[in-house]
Copies of this chain bind each other. A is one copy, B any other.
Amino acid sequence: MEPILFAGRLVASSARETLRAVDPATGEELDERFPVSPREELGALAAAGKRAAAVMREVPAERIAEFLERCAAEIEADADALAARAARETGLPLRPRLREVEIGRTLDQLRQAAACVRTGAWALPVVDRERDLASAYTALGGPVFVIGPSNFPFAYNALGGGDFASALAAGNPVIAKANPGHPGTTGMLAQCIARAIEQCPTLPPAVVQMFYHCAPEDGLWLAAHRDVAAIGFTGSRATGLKIKEVADRAGKPVYLEMSSVNPVFVLPGALARKARKVTEDFVASCLLAAGQMCTNPGLVVVPAGEAGEMLLAAVSARFLAAPPGVLLGPSSPEHLETSIEILCRAGASVVVGGKRAAGPGYRFQNTLLRATGAQFLAQPELLQTEAFGSASLFVFAADEAETLAIAEQLQGSLTASIYSDDDGSDDVCAARLSAILQERTGRLLNDKMPTGVAVSPAMNHGGPFPATGHPGFTAVGFPPAIRRFAKLTCFDHVRRHRLPELLQRAVGGTRD
């Protein structure tokens, strides 16, 4: 049985149950056994994390920055082996996707977070000398429980990914739960992090801890545990809503990224003059990583009529020609099947695909569905069911009014795209649509598909409920992502030597 990372050490779990990873390309179970941690073990992690938080308070920012950089360096050192293992466990392409793109992004995130810790600007320090007030975002005082998704074994991994980097940068310890889809990858990351911990003796050993799996009710118990300060979750809406409920009841900050259909609107002028670009963009975006992206374009609204039909026909041909990708795990085809069933029962019909694909492992046909605008407006909620994979619903809108009415029915999403012509003929409609979409999405795009989330301070990877739990926060992009895992603290007339390091600097040499 593989060890968990507890209080700075790789130690044996007290688990009685275990789970094994699966190679989704073949359906074969891999050898290692990973512990399913019992509740007492989770409680011990929480308690160690809480004690670590108290130590972290006194650790200079520079030491935290160094730790983040050590984590990056150790991951980089093992990058080949890590990527190979992740490819085996997830079926995602080894190169460039895992080895270059995703590990590269992960290292970049850790290093950007480290740079933010050094300047401290993420904490928005404000000094009011006249009233002797100083405020800044400060650590929460307890560990952040991070739960990563199946589809990014590095960039969003609870160990080493975006929430991990953000929570640490804010000065919090992390308790990471591995995704059961890639436990071996996460176990290898735990070895990297354990080496980083060893090299940073100023930090408490429990600065990062990791367990592999637990019973769902025990996971909710840990989320509500009094020692846990906040939760970061990326995954399905069903699980996300359960976590949200217990965290809300406990009054705990919780950041959830939990599904999005990422609507794409193609306006008449764009359809007339940019159909080829739209086709290329869409096919590349929707087939990327077998469609298993949070920002997969799952809903395309096009004008009804011949041009729209031709667009769908062109896309359909490409979808038929492309081999079905390998899905992440045993439940992936089932989830797709269920979602497509819901969509069809709500009025959509399958154009291409719609069924499990032949071959070993977990595969599903590249799928396109269609519905009329009237059908969408009759069942707007069900027709926004996320089908996590290379599956998308084309909705044919009768006219501009119907297009806008569809937009008005959209739930909160991570992204929304508008393709419009370049000569102004779509401008009036685009302006109306932008206004409606802007309040329903975290990121509005023009003439671009939503996949590809740049790690930029200007990024927002977030959006209104139910895409996330709060529309004011982003999961990607430093420094804003860091502030999720911090509290605002004001120091009123507090003696200078008692201020946090950052505010001592901000206050400068003028007091006490």
Tell whether, in the assembled complex, residue B128 and residue A431 are in contact, meaning their CB atoms are under 8 Å apart: no
Tell whether, in the assembled complex, residue A458 and residue B248 are in contact, meaning their CB atoms are under 8 Å apart: no
Query: Using Cβ atoms and an 8 Å threshold, which residues of chain B touch A133?
Result: 454, 456, 458-459
- Is A57 among interface residues, defined by CB-CB distance under 8 A? yes
Tell whether, in the assembled complex, residue A134 and residue B458 are in contact, meaning their CB atoms are under 8 Å apart: yes
In the complex, what's the smallest C-beta–C-beta distance from A424 to chain B, in angstroms?
A: 10
Query: Using Cβ atoms and an 8 Å threshold, which residues of chain B touch A483?
Result: 472
- Is A307 among interface residues, defined by CB-CB distance under 8 A? no
Tell whether, in the assembled complex, residue B466 and residue A488 are in contact, meaning their CB atoms are under 8 Å apart: no
Residue of B nearest to A420 (CB): B495
- Is A98 among interface residues, defined by CB-CB distance under 8 A? no
- Is A291 among interface residues, defined by CB-CB distance under 8 A? no
Contact of A447 among B244, B464, B493 (CB under 8 A): B493
Stretch at the interface among A192-200, A322-330, A336-344, A434-442: A434-442
Query: Using Cβ atoms and an 8 Å threshold, which residues of chain B touch A124?
Result: 480
Q: Copies per complex?
A: 2
CA of A469 to CA of B430, assembled, Å: 37
Per-position 1/0 for A100-128, Cβ under 8 A of B: 00000000000000000000000010111
Tell whether, in the assembled complex, residue A487 and residue B456 are in contact, meaning their CB atoms are under 8 Å apart: no
Most B CB atoms within 10 A — which of A58, A126, A445, A490?
Answer: A490
CA of A478 to CA of B293, assembled, Å: 38
Interface residues of A (CB under 8 A from B): 53-54, 57-58, 124, 126-128, 131, 133-135, 137-142, 229, 244-245, 248-253, 412, 415, 430-431, 434-435, 438-448, 454, 456-460, 462-466, 469-474, 480, 483-484, 486-495, 498
Nearest 10 Cβ contacts at the A-B interface: A141-B439, A251-B465, A460-B490, A471-B487, A128-B458, A133-B458, A248-B248, A443-B490, A126-B458, A445-B492
